[in-house]
Amino acid sequence: MMKVAAIQMVSTPDVKENLATAKRLLTTAAESGAELLLLPEYWPLMGMQETDKLNIAESPGHGELQNFLGDMARSLNVCIIGGSIPLRSPVEGKVLNTTLVFDAQGKVDACYDKVHLFGFHKGAESYEESRTITAGDKVVTVETRIGRVGLSICYDLRFPELYRAMGECALIVVPSAFTYTTGQAHWEILLRARAIENQCYVLAAAQGGKHVNGRRTWGHSVLIDPWGKIVSELAEGEGVVFGDIDTNLIQNIRESLPALRHRRIQSSGLS
């Protein structure tokens, strides 16, 4: 067993304010016994403009955001999966939307750059991440005490082939900032599908509420078990979702319904 936690935030355009909120919620999660903590996508900044993230982009291994995550993991003696932060891209005027995994000593265990970039246009709502973000091109997992953890970010959730390419995971994480419109329609369905088809837990940490920039995010941070059952969920607002990863349950489900062994078509693509 391992207790895990998903942090839900309603991030603002003020990085210092968001750092303080993240510190408070991470500390609450660790003090409640969680050993693996997940932050949401864009936790350090929900800017007034898409380009605001360029102003806080950091080089790998250097910067306030990375120092904060490493220091928190070390001081709390936990694994922190750092939602997403902007790292500098080789493409001028763009960033990488990156998840960094810090071990309990505050060292980086894994780095994943978001592969699938969100685009949505309906009425007054318009989003096009490719204008300011460079897509990643690698599937990334990290080994933990409970087994393999697969890394993904938000819009990746709509692409099941990414998760197949991870191999057999005990846990998939999905830090997100789903819009209210798309979240209301598809969030729970997609998360439960990824858990059921991969026969593993799914932990999703979301942005959840009305932001200063006018954007409204869906929230509903959640832990889902390998049978597709919701273990714990938070609808809106700041808070923490807790739950246990039971490796015996994963094994029992895979033995009674060996769907992963029954596959006939193998995935290919990203390295």
The rounded distance, in Å, linking the Cα atoms of 221 and 163 is: 19
Sequence-distant (≥ 6) Cβ neighbours of residue 72 within 8 angstroms: 22, 23, 26, 80, 102
CB 105 within 8 A of CB 138: no
Q: Which residues are known catalytic residues?
A: 41, 114, 154
Q: Which stretches within 32-167 are classed as H helix? A: 64-76, 160-164
How far is it, in rounded angstroms, from Cα 34 to Cα 171?
15
Could you tell me which residues are beta bridge partners of residue 232?
223
Exposed (0-12), middle (13-18) or buried (19+): which is 258, by Cβ within 10 Å?
exposed
The whole-angstrom separation of Cα 35 and Cα 104 is 9
Helix ranges (DSSP H) in the chain: 15-31, 64-76, 160-164, 180-182, 188-198, 247-256
Facing residues of 132 across strands? none
Instruction: Report CA Rg, the chain.
Output: 17
